Amino acid sequence: MSVTEKKAAAPKAKASKASKGSVLSDARLYDVIVQPLVTEKTTTLSEQNKVVFKISPTATKKDVKKAVEAIFKVSVLKVNTINIEGKMKKFRGQTGQRNDLRKAVVTLAAGQTIDFAAGAR
């Protein structure tokens, strides 16, 4: 081969579109959502197609969306997350702190609901 001749470049493998850590296994789906929060305020939000979950402190909005869609078989329009720091409280003269809480307000598509009494399928 002479210097002027070039070898044909080998075809490159396509890069995966999934970013690192964005693929959730089935076990991880259930780690993202800790439990649903059912209070008077969250039940009034259900009239606006919104559901509130207690989530893992490391979960992202994308993780929450994928987990809710996979577990409950609904389509999610929007996810809002909230970090709540635990309050300092006194109990029998001892100072303590409540646990920190991270929750997600999930907006569902029109006409879709999640029934917590029936459970996840």
Note if the pTM is more than 0.75. no
* Cα-Cα end-to-end distance for the chain: 64
List the alpha helices (DSSP H) in 1-121: 26-32, 40-45, 61-72
Q: Is the predicted pLDDT of residue 93 greater than 70, yes or no?
A: yes
Domains recognised in the chain with CATH numbers: 26-87+99-108 (3.30.70.330)
- Give residue 19's pLDDT: 46
What is the mean predicted confidence (pLDDT) over 44-72?
Answer: 94
Least confident of 2-16, 58-72, 107-121: 2-16
What is the mean predicted confidence (pLDDT) over 86-95?
Answer: 94
